[in-house]
Structure 1
Amino acid sequence: MSTTGMTLELHDLVLSYGGAPVVDGLDLSVRPGEILVLTGPSGCGKSTVLRALAGLLRPDSGRIVADGEPVVTTSRDRAVVFQDNALLPWRTVRSNVELALKLAGRPRAGRRSEALRWIADVGLTGFEDYLPKSLSGGMRQRVQLARGLAGAPRAVMMDEPFGALDTQTRTSMQRLLIKTWRAHPTTVVFVTHDVDEALLVGDRIAVLGRAGQPLRALLDVPSPREPNVGRAALRAEIISALDHSELVS
């Protein structure tokens, strides 16, 4: 895997969903190897932007560029991790991860051992032969994380991947993401409506507004990634940039 990740650029981007524009004139750059968090009010187009970055949605106008090349379709260099469990239910944990390795062109002879290493990285050793239905929600998300990164993508788009988890499991997954990202560097674009999650996960936070005011704020998050450490002023700044108070958890 690249140690720098992928540079992503959005230039005067216009995106529609259901016929109505939800993003209008967005300019944003994602630095190689960073975790950029997208947050904002419901309906501002966070997930729509993510789908466009992944090549799943064609812009109405404007450009999306990945390492200098226009994004016109999906690519194994740009993986997606959704909130909803997208694992293949008839495949075991190991088989789900091996599929990602197969699609990435890994030689068949080494897929099993590589899949087992990824499963160990996300703390699921001993569950290799389990089907998804036999796993908890948090465990399924661990498999999704392993599968999303196993193909060595240079960018990973994550659409509220921990939103359906209970608080304790969610905190555990946030820390696991950071740990795994540090061990396997890539560029991550992470969508959330949770301000505290944004502050814990992100290197930078982009607060999106509604169409006509696409980018309300772009903020750097200081290190280290520790909750409630030197975050009060930044948290207040993010909240002030949001349109609706109910977005704050």
Structure 2
Amino acid sequence: MTVGMSLELDRVRLSYTGTPVIDGLSLTVRPGEILVLTGPSGCGKSTVLRALAGLLTPDGGRVLADNAEVTTTSGDRGMVFQDNALLPWRTVRSNIELALRLRGEPRATRRGQAEHWIDELGLAGFGNYLPKSLSGGMRQRVQLARGLAGAPRAVMMDEPFGALDTQTRGAMQRLLIDAWRTHPTTIVFVTHDVDEALALGDRIVVLGRAGQPLRAVLEVSEPRTGQPREELRAEIIAALNHTVAA
């Protein structure tokens, strides 16, 4: 069974295309939790994910995974993007098998494991389809399957459901929770949607601007139970409004 890893940002300073977006951010992600990052556009949410994944080197401070400094990418840390990042010339099955190959899974077992993920993520019958033949929701299912198939101990998810309609987004949220419960891992999930944050997160982090990057860290009591959370929702919105006004 996959065991989630701890992640830590220690006084991290980050720039994107030469512009400082995060300055002095310290944050710990607990093993096996779903931590949701939200905040206004341009506050550095996606930049933080890239640093955690090892795709971006900090200008200052340290990024740690299980107390070891992150200096490059690793099969233990996966990434799921909002934009369709599937290889268009590969079938659904082949896209998933690629993640298994990169993980070092023997050729003899890749097909069976890919079929397992195809079934588990509701893709049965679509294994031979190319991405262009799939709906947006189906493509996101393939991305999720590929992201989890390599058995990463942490997955960074950058607004993966942001382009989907409300009904499909809700279905994908439930599918993600089911997959996470079956294959426990640490998830850092970026979203602009407060209700999505409340539906998924153990904790919700509101990021601000570079000069004051951490606006709020909010615990969700009894997460993912579907309970009304109007008070917590109001706290998140207040933190977001304060960030925008600052």
TM-score category of the 2 structures, normalised to the smaller one: over 0.9
Distance 1:22 1:235 in 2: 26
Question: Alignment partner of 1:25: what SS?
Answer: strand
CA deviations on 1:43-78 (whole Å, 9 max, x unpaired) are 110000001101111100000000011001111110
Query: Which of 231, 234, 237 is matched with 1:236 structurally?
Result: 234
> Which one-letter code corresponds to 2:41 in the other structure?
S
| 1:69 aligns to 2:68 (yes or no) | yes
Contact 1:40 1:243 in 2 (8 A): no
CA deviations on 1:161-204 (whole Å, 9 max, x unpaired) are 00011111011001100000000010000000100000001110
Contact 2:37 2:207 in 1 (8 A): yes
Contact 1:65 1:71 in 2 (8 A): yes
Match of 2:101 in 1: 102
CA deviations on 1:67-102 (whole Å, 9 max, x unpaired) are 011001111110000000111111111111011001
Deviating above 2 A after TM superposition, structure 1's stretches of 4 or more consecutive aligned residues are 243-246
Residues 125/6 of structure 1: CA separation in 2 closer, same or farther (3 Å cut) = same
Compute the RMSD of aligned alpha carbons.
Answer: 1.3
Contact 1:209 1:243 in 2 (8 A): no
Normalization by structure 1: what TM-score? 0.95
- Give the unaligned 5+ runs of structure 1: none
> Which one-letter code corresponds to 1:209 in the other structure?
G
Distance 1:240 1:140 in 2: 34
> Which one-letter code corresponds to 2:70 in the other structure?
V
> Which one-letter code corresponds to 1:108 in the other structure?
R
Contact 1:83 1:160 in 2 (8 A): yes
Report matched runs for 1:14-163 at 5 Å. 14-163=13-162
Distance 1:134 1:110 in 2: 27
Match of 1:2 in 2: 2
Contact 2:158 2:191 in 1 (8 A): yes
Distance 1:70 1:41 in 2: 28
Contact 2:200 2:223 in 1 (8 A): no
Contact 1:54 1:78 in 2 (8 A): yes
- The Cα shift of 1:2 comes to 2.6
Distance 1:144 1:67 in 2: 25
Contact 2:215 2:243 in 1 (8 A): no
- The Cα shift of 1:18 comes to 2.2
> Which one-letter code corresponds to 1:6 in the other structure?
M
> Which one-letter code corresponds to 1:197 in the other structure?
E
Distance 1:2 1:176 in 2: 18
Contact 1:13 1:64 in 2 (8 A): yes
Distance 2:152 2:200 in 1: 19
Q: How many equivalent residue pairs?
A: 244
> Which one-letter code corresponds to 1:69 in the other structure?
A
